[in-house]
């Protein structure tokens, strides 16, 4: 169904003229938001002022089946102990907001930013890690400024060096322009997997492994987003877009997402999007990938992040991934012990399924 939405969007794009959008105005959109009682604010933004062609160049994802083994579905026990809200920014595990400019390289930014978070978590640093998106564009073979796909084979085989080895140019560039010896300074991932477009699966992967590169279909109204919880209201389809998922909130039913349009767009470069948009034409989470450490199916420890994890989460990690425990205090909640046992068992089951090849393409 979601692939059908993407195909229809492509057909509709072909019929859209390369001129400035006239069919959607701020006033008409604001009125529609009020009528629908949507929870977001629309207004003029740096993106809404662009022509249609320029807007599409700020996207760039080509929807294609993820060419990786799927991450096994989480158990009910693993989902049951997830926190009600979570945000990796609170653990100093998200790098700074970037700007892809007029180049359809969102796919490269999403995967690069996921690797930056991977490094911040595994290396226990709060320093703003900045890697070279340009190396991924010019050397990775998975796309260009005309668009690309979410495929992390290059990150597993070769990795990415610091941004200084090949600063971003917003062009296709050439791999020979990268600094000599950049491969020696590159950081690799252990492995990568596809994550099912399912709320529980996405939340579980996010909390246990770190920020996720994901994708959705962008419509005209999204260009006018200023704040709040986005839900599709009106406008033409513009194309696929890859972003970085960093958090969620169950009480208010939304995801927290890092974009690649600079800090002057949205909520400081971020946006929130309703869970309901997973099941609409927007199809949020349509393509999602996760990075794992070398030969390990165990979740990255939340305690690896520099700041203390959300209350109650650290105790619920698999026992073999927890930091050295402090001596038990008298009167500790017995429920925590039961939670540890449940997630420990589910983590081991997941590890066996991945290493045993139980998951099928």
Per-residue tokens: 345? 């068992």
The residues that bridge with 245 in the sheet, in sequence order, are 257
Does residue 103 carry a catalytic annotation?
no
Q: Over 227-285, what HEC string results? A: EEEECCCCCCEEEEEEEEEEEEECCCCEEEEECCECCCCCECCEEEEEHHHHCCCCCCC
Does residue 106 carry a catalytic annotation?
yes
Backbone region of residue 132 per phi and psi (left: phi > 0; alpha: psi in -120 to 50; beta: other values): beta
Report the C-alpha gap between 318 and 341 in whole angstroms.
8
Q: What is the dihedral of CA 83, 253, 221, 110, to 10 degrees?
A: 20
Coil, helix or strand at residue 150: coil
* Nearest to 134, CA basis, from 124, 126, 143, 125: 143
Catalytic choice (2, 151, 208, 259): 259
Catalytic choice (91, 151, 241, 298): 241
Per-residue tokens: 33? 């938001």
Q: What is the dihedral of CA 313, 314, 316, 320, to 10 degrees?
A: 150
Q: Which residue has the tokens 């909520």?
A: 267
Catalytic choice (2, 91, 103, 106): 106
Q: How many CB atoms lie within 10 A of CB 10?
A: 14
Between the two ends of the chain, the Cα-to-Cα distance in Å is: 18
Coil, helix or strand at residue 119: helix
Question: Phi and psi of 79, rounded to 5°?
Answer: -70, -35
Question: Phi and psi of 349, rounded to 5°?
Answer: -60, -45
Does residue 91 carry a catalytic annotation?
no
Handedness of CA 139, 92, 283, 16 (dihedral sign): negative
Report the C-alpha gap between 248 and 9 in whole angstroms.
27
Q: Provide the annotated active-site residues.
A: 106, 241, 259
């Amino acid at each position: 169904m979601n692939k059908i939405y993407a195909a229809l969007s492509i057909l509709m794009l072909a019929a859209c003229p390369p001129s400035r959008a006239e069919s959607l105005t701020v006033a008409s959109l604001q009125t529609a938001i009020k009528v629908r009682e949507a929870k977001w604010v629309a207004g003029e933004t740096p993106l809404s002022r662009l022509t249609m062609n320029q807007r599409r160049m700020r996207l760039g994802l080509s929807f294609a089946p993820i060419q990786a083994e799927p991450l096994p579905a989480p158990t009910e026990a693993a989902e049951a102990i997830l926190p009600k809200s979570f945000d990796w920014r609170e653990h100093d595990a998200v790098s700074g907001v970037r700007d892809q400019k007029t180049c359809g390289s969102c796919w490269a930014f999403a995967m690069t930013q996921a690797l930056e978070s991977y490094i911040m978590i595994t290396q226990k640093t709060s320093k703003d890690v900045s890697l070279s998106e340009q190396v991924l564009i010019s050397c990775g073979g998975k796309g260009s400024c005309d668009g690309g796909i979410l495929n992390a084979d290059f990150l597993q085989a070769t990795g990415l060096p610091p941004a200084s080895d090949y600063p971003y140019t917003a062009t296709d560039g050439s791999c020979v322009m990268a600094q000599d010896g950049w491969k020696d300074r590159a950081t690799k991932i252990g492995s990568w997997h596809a994550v099912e477009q399912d709320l529980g699966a996405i939340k579980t992967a996010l909390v246990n492994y770190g920020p996720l590169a994901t994708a959705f279909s962008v419509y005209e109204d999204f260009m006018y987003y200023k704040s709040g919880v986005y839900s599709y209201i009106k406008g033409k389809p513009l194309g696929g877009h890859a972003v970085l998922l960093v958090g969620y909130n169950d009480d208010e039913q939304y995801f927290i997402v890092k974009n690649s349009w600079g800090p002057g767009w949205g909520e400081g470069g971020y946006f929130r999007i309703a869970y309901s948009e997973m099941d609409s034409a927007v199809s949020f989470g349509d393509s999602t990938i996760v990075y794992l450490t070398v030969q390990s199916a165990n979740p990255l420890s939340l305690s690896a992040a520099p700041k203390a994890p959300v209350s109650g989460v650290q105790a619920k990690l698999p026992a073999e991934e927890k930091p050295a425990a402090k001596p038990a205090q008298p009167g500790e909640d017995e429920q925590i012990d039961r939670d540890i046992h449940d997630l420990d068992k589910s983590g081991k089951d997941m590890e066996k399924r991945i290493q045993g090849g139980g998951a099928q393409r």
